[in-house]
Amino acid sequence: MKVHLTAGLTALAAALACPAQAAEDITTLSAAEMASAIAEQTLSATDLVNALIAKTGDDPGNVYISFDTEGVLAAAAAADESVKAGEALGPLHGVPIVVKDNIAAEGLPTTGGTPALKGWVPREDAPVLKKLREAGAILLGKTNLHELAFGITSNNAAFGAVANAYDPDRIAGGSSGGTGAAVGARLAPAGLGTDTGGSVRIPSALNGVAGLRPTVGRYPTEGIVPISATRDTPGPIARTVADLVLLDSVITGSTPGLEPVDLTTVRLGVPAGLTDNLSPETGRLFKEALDKLEAAGVTLVPVDISTELELAGKAGFPIALWEVKRDLAAFLETHDTGLGLQDIANEVASPDVKFIFDNLILGNQAIPDAVYRDAMDDMRPLIQSGYAEVFAANKLDALVFPTTPLPAQPIAESDETVSLNGEDVPTFPTFIRNTDPGSVAGIPGLSLPAGLTADGLPVGLELDGPAFSDRHLLALGLAVETVLPDMPAPASN
């Protein structure tokens, strides 16, 4: 079900919203600023929602698969009444958010970006969304994604390609491209994506926003259309690290608020395998970021993780491709979708995802059990222990590297290959090159905006920390964010 706003609704929202300049200002507030203004009654949730509806218009960037206009307006009105009545307010009271359309939302279709699930309407929210709603968040809509989360362009043949927030002809990244683009384009202050090999961090990097992949197992995954139980996790996307801290606190029940770390005490590892063969502009911005970090007192430590990178390259795909056959089939049955794995595969629309299902999951190239067990029992423990040893031996707070080796590429030319330093290289493995190894290990990763290329395209800086160091990683992000350039809104905003 594709629901766009009609011209009439757009006009109505514009008429109901604040004056043009004020509406523009309130849509650029952070989630924390929105929550504070609503609680202090200097901003109403209704005015905020109407301003975002007006800004979204008919969704030319193809950010949404469904947009619950009536539900959003009703929820905003109820939020305003709660404030007026003096009721206790949650930390996200009245704040509009977006959620990737593979995360179950009560009463709305959860399509996974694939035709066979268009009619599936969950009876309850996924726990990760439920926690945000219980804190007062308002769900604007469900965002577009790479079909079944199996890709990084978000060029979805069933629902259309998601446009990059900074250049509508470029990819938004994936698979959480809709959430990344919505937050980058100031259509929502924050939202949820999912990340199996980079699907929160890549769209965050390409759309000039911040995204957290938490340690696997730290966030609940129930109610999310799965790929791999070993590798999947939901993760928040926002424009500031403070908002990631806020969402993380709500989801995990952690103490609200964090103090930035003292950068003069920080040691960051710089791994050669993730910092070479970069596009010229990515390389320039990465070097500038390292220079600024050193000037702020950070100690940079060259480290060797070549063994871990090699093992992750061998283990990552066997784990995901074997587990999706088990985990997606179980999900479809558990949630009474009335569908089986073959039913999903029969209707897959995107050619790249169709090939994966027909050949690598259900076909004669499917991963043998022995290969999966070798990846899980032998290689993955070595990857995890190797990362842990690198962090401990070098007394590192985190590793630092570019989130992707190159910025967003043209939608029309990126389905199979992209050009990197004059060479045509495969799109998917090139864009996940830096994000996937930590995903296989299950460690947390944080992508921050590092600046804009000469062509005005965002580049991301990633920090990967030890397992379950998520809160320290966020505190580090608060500090690192202060030395990186301010990220301007897209020119159209």
Task: Please check whether residue 465 lies inside any domain of the structure.
Answer: yes
Task: Please check whether residue 343 lies inside any domain of the structure.
Answer: no
Task: Please check whether residue 359 lies inside any domain of the structure.
Answer: no
Residues 259-271: tens digit of each pLDDT:
999 999 999 999 9
Task: Please check whether residue 341 lies inside any domain of the structure.
Answer: no
Supply the CATH number for residue 273's domain.
3.90.1300.10
Choose among 236, 224, 229: nearest CA to 111: 224
Residue 493: its pLDDT value, please? Answer: 64
End-to-end CA distance of the chain: 28
pLDDT exceeds cutoff 90 at 21: no
Residue 61: its pLDDT value, please? Answer: 96
CA 161 from centre of chain: 16
**Extended strands (E) in 355-413:** 398-402
- For strand 299-303 and strand 267-271, is the pairing parallel, antiparallel, or unpaired? parallel
Residues 275-324: tens digit of each pLDDT:
999 999 999 999 999 999 999 999 999 999 999 999 999 999 999 999 99
pLDDT exceeds cutoff 70 at 12: no
Residue 25: its pLDDT value, please? Answer: 84
Tell me the C-alpha distance between 312 and 305, whole Å: 11
Tell me the C-alpha distance between 324 and 358, whole Å: 13
In the chain, the percentage of residues whose pLDDT exceeds 90 is: 94
Tell me the C-alpha distance between 425 and 396, whole Å: 32
Asked whether 226 and 195 are in contact (CB, 8 A), the reply is: no
Residue 396 tokens, joined: 């590192």
Instruction: State the average pLDDT over residues 134-139.
Output: 98
Task: Please check whether residue 440 lies inside any domain of the structure.
Answer: yes
Residues 76-124: tens digit of each pLDDT:
999 999 999 999 999 999 999 999 999 999 999 999 999 999 999 999 9
- How many domains does the chain fold into? 1
Residues 173-184: tens digit of each pLDDT:
999 999 999 999
Q: What is the arrangement of strands in the sheet containing 267-271, beginning at the earlier edge strand? A: 64-67, 138-143, 96-100, 190-195, 233-238, 210-213, 445-452, 458-464, 398-402, 267-271, 299-303
Residue 8: its pLDDT value, please? Answer: 31
Residues 465-483: tens digit of each pLDDT:
999 999 999 999 999 999 9
Segments forming the whole domain that contains residue 101: 21-309+372-481
Task: Please check whether residue 255 lies inside any domain of the structure.
Answer: yes
Choose among 26, 36, 128, 27: nearest CA to 90: 36
Residue 132 tokens, joined: 């945000």
Please give the mean pLDDT across all residues of the chain: 95
* Catalytic positions, written as ranges: 100, 175, 199
Model confidence at 390, in pLDDT bands (50, 70, 90)?
Answer: very high
Give me the DSSP letters along 268-296.
EEEEHHHHSS--HHHHHHHHHHHHHHHHT
Task: Please check whether residue 348 lies inside any domain of the structure.
Answer: no
CA 153 from centre of chain: 13
Task: Please check whether residue 337 lies inside any domain of the structure.
Answer: no
